[in-house]
């Protein structure tokens, strides 16, 4: 049965993106069902913000800002709101007042980050050695399955440092960004998780309890061992090594506040009756201890803290951010009104919501389940709708900041199109960390890719190839391609799956695929301008003219088309992006 989802059909059906409603002096965007961000764009000048329930109602003062942005955290979707922005000079004289601004739902203006919390990684050998496998532990092989799922579904692991640099305007943020946030500081991260992150070229935050790391280091430094420990911890040297690799970002889980009900305090939360001043003093002292250890041993000052036991309040959030150098607060599931964490583009970092929600990865539930739940929940709230990744335009910018494959450098001409293919699960690489950009695309790969674009249709007849047994990974796609005239079968009834595909033959296959999908294939370019026009096979000229008109293929600097030139994987990623991202 034909799948209802087809990348190319989706392109035809998608409406063009709508614009954010705005006056010449501002715009407003729903961040999530509890927050509206108002942007006036003029920094270094104080603005006052007002809100009314109707366009001509009474506008009440809700706050001020000198950053050019303001976040209204008292909104509630689907309530109707209108905002006005006013500016006053030094004498208190109003210099302008904006017209009414109604907030828009605009997913393209939001950056989405999902965070998944982990704790310990315990192998069977660890258990035999006395390490406890508790309810928050998972097996290394399960973590490896999580990483493979992320890779196969186009996710990019980032750290909270990457997120901070993005919010400061210094770095892009990938689509499908996920933070693997690991709490505590257990040795299993070093022995079991860290090698896997290196194997798959992925990253994670490691939120450490400073006092426990100190204790582990002092034990080993004085001649002790970890032998027989039920909950061994990393040492500072091991943390420094992981940080230097670029795969682990060291963050804080407090120095000594990871205690439950010690003197009536639970973690880094306020006690009943505690004054803000007393709480601020406690978190300042703990922050300074955490910084002295982490920065002293690794040279990096932590900017992210994970709340112990996820215990927090809006008041504690404010006091921690105001009285320490922490800029991001990691909490538990439900910390926000959304399952993922959304940030408004062009909003000043001081007006972003810096509290992140993160469900806890438990044994028996793979990461894909959590991320699919996140998408489903937020997709139903009316605001945080998923964007269409096929139409993402800034893949070059993203690829310049994030290297997905070891053999695709961030400044490579094809890095953006390789990332685009990875994001949309079109071309996933040939190994754990490699894309093989210079390898040629063969007929088996071409058939598989075009069948994937068409919805993974099945052939209706049982075609047999003389060079296939029927169990090959490409066999079903080749049958579909042959049955529907996408790719030819040779006179000897062979498919020749390993044969590299040329530029003109790929253009023909894509043209045939477009006709199969009943797309408008009438647009044609003048290809007689190519100096090797005569070398293009007559039966392929219409297809090449269509592909050039669509910008799928372009000529070479010397004026040739090079019809017989074989297509590399790097070129194939560019061809796919050229065809899909522009739509029909």
Quote the DSSP letter at residue 131.
-
305/285 Cα distance (integer angstroms): 14
183/253 Cα distance (integer angstroms): 7
Please tell me the predicted confidence (pLDDT) of residue 485: 96
Please tell me the predicted confidence (pLDDT) of residue 432: 87
2 pLDDT exceeds 70?
no
Quick one: how many helices (H) and strands (E) in the chain? 18, 21
Please tell me the predicted confidence (pLDDT) of residue 211: 98
Quote the DSSP letter at residue 568.
B
21 pLDDT exceeds 60?
no
86 pLDDT exceeds 90?
yes
17 pLDDT exceeds 70?
no
Among 182, 150, 146, 178, residue whose Cα is nearest residue 162: 178
Please tell me the predicted confidence (pLDDT) of residue 263: 82
Please tell me the predicted confidence (pLDDT) of residue 41: 75
Please tell me the predicted confidence (pLDDT) of residue 43: 76
Please tell me the predicted confidence (pLDDT) of residue 23: 47
209 pLDDT exceeds 80?
yes
Please tell me the predicted confidence (pLDDT) of residue 6: 57
Please tell me the predicted confidence (pLDDT) of residue 19: 36
Helix (H) or strand (E) run with residue 555 in it: none
Please tell me the predicted confidence (pLDDT) of residue 8: 54
Q: What are phi and psi of 389, to 5 degrees?
A: -65, -20
**Given pLDDT bands bounded at 50, 70 and 90, which one contains residue 44?**
confident
Following DSSP, what letter does each residue of 212-249 receive, concatenated? HHHHHHHHHHTT---TT-SS-B--HHHHHHHHHHTSEE
pLDDT digit string (tens) for 511-529?
999 999 999 999 999 999 9
Please tell me the predicted confidence (pLDDT) of residue 91: 82
Angle among Cα 52, 54, 59 to the nearest 5 degrees reads: 25
> What's the whole-number mean pLDDT along residues 368-377?
97
pLDDT digit string (tens) for 330-357?
999 999 999 999 999 999 999 999 999 9
Q: What is the pTM of this model?
A: 0.93
395 pLDDT exceeds 80?
yes
CATH 2.60.40.10 fits 22-105, yes or no: yes
Please tell me the predicted confidence (pLDDT) of residue 140: 98
Please tell me the predicted confidence (pLDDT) of residue 581: 86
> What's the whole-number mean pLDDT along residues 397-403?
97
39 pLDDT exceeds 50?
yes
* Domain span(s) for CATH 2.60.40.10 in the chain: 22-105
Distances (CA, A) of 362 to 240, 359, 370: 28, 9, 10
In percent, how much of the chain has pLDDT > 90? Answer: 88
Please tell me the predicted confidence (pLDDT) of residue 7: 55
Q: Give domain 108-379's CATH superfamily.
A: Glycoside hydrolase/deacetylase (3.20.20.370)
93 pLDDT exceeds 90?
no
> How high is the mean pLDDT of the chain?
93
* Domain span(s) for CATH 3.20.20.370 in the chain: 108-379
Count of positions (residues) in the chain: 584
pLDDT digit string (tens) for 543-568?
999 999 999 999 999 999 999 999 99
């Amino acid at each position: 049965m034909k799948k209802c989802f087809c990348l190319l059909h989706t392109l035809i059906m998608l409406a063009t993106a709508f614009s954010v409603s705005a006056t010449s002096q501002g715009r407003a965007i729903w961040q999530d069902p509890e927050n509206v961000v108002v942007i006036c764009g003029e920094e270094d000048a104080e603005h006052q913000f007002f809100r009314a329930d109707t366009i001509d109602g009474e506008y009440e003062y809700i706050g001020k800002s000198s950053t050019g942005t303001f976040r209204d955290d008292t909104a509630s979707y689907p309530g109707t709101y209108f905002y006005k922005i006013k500016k006053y000079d030094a004498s208190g004289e109003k210099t302008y007042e904006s017209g009414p601004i109604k907030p828009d739902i605009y997913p393209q203006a939001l950056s989405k980050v999902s965070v998944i919390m982990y704790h310990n990684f315990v192998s069977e050998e660890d258990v035999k050695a006395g390490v406890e496998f508790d309810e928050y532990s998972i097996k290394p092989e399960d973590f490896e399955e999580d990483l493979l799922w992320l890779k196969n579904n186009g996710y990019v692991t980032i750290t909270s440092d990457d997120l901070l640099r993005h919010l400061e305007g210094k770095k892009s943020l990938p689509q499908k960004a996920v933070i693997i946030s690991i709490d505590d500081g257990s040795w299993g991260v070093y022995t079991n998780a860290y090698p896997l992150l290196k194997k798959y070229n992925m990253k994670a935050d490691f939120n450490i309890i400073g006092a426990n790391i100190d204790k582990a280091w002092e034990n080993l430094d004085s001649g002790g061992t970890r032998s027989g420990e039920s909950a061994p911890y990393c040492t500072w040297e091991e943390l420094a090594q992981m940080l230097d690799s670029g795969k682990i970002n060291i963050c804080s889980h407090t120095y000594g506040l990871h205690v439950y009900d010690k003197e009536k305090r639970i973690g880094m939360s306020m006690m009943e009756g505690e004054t803000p001043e007393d709480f601020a003093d406690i978190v300042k002292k703990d922050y300074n201890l955490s910084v002295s250890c982490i920065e002293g041993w690794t040279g990096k000052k932590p900017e992210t803290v994970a709340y112990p036991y996820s215990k927090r309040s809006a008041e504690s959030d404010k006091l921690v951010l105001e009285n320490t150098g922490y800029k991001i607060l990691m909490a538990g599931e439900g910390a926000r009104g959304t399952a993922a964490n959304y940030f408004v583009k062009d909003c000043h970092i001081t007006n972003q919501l810096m509290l992140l929600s993160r469900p806890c990865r438990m044994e028996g539930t793979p990461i894909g389940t959590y991320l699919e739940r996140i998408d489903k929940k937020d997709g139903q709230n009316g605001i945080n709708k998923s964007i269409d990744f096929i139409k993402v335009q800034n893949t070059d910018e993203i690829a310049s900041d994030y290297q997905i494959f070891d053999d695709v450098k961030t400044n490579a001409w094809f890095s953006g199109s390789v990332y685009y293919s990875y994001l949309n699960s079109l071309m996933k690489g040939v190994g754990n960390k490699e894309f093989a950009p210079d390898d040629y695309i063969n007929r088996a790969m071409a058939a598989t890719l075009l069948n994937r674009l068409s919805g993974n249709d099945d052939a209706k007849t049982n075609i047999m190839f003389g060079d296939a047994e029927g169990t090959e990974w490409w066999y079903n796609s080749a049958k579909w391609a042959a049955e529907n005239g996408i790719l030819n079968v040779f006179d000897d009834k062979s498919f020749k799956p390993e044969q590299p595909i040329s530029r003109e033959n790929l253009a023909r296959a894509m043209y045939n695929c477009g006709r199969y999908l009943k797309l408008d294939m009438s647009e044609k370019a003048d290809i007689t301008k190519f100096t090797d026009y005569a070398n293009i096979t007559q039966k392929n000229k219409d297809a090449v003219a269509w592909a050039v008109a669509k910008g799928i293929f372009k000529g070479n600097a010397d004026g040739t088309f090079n019809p017989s030139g074989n297509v590399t994987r790097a070129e194939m990623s560019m061809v796919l992006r050229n065809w899909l991202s522009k739509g029909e």
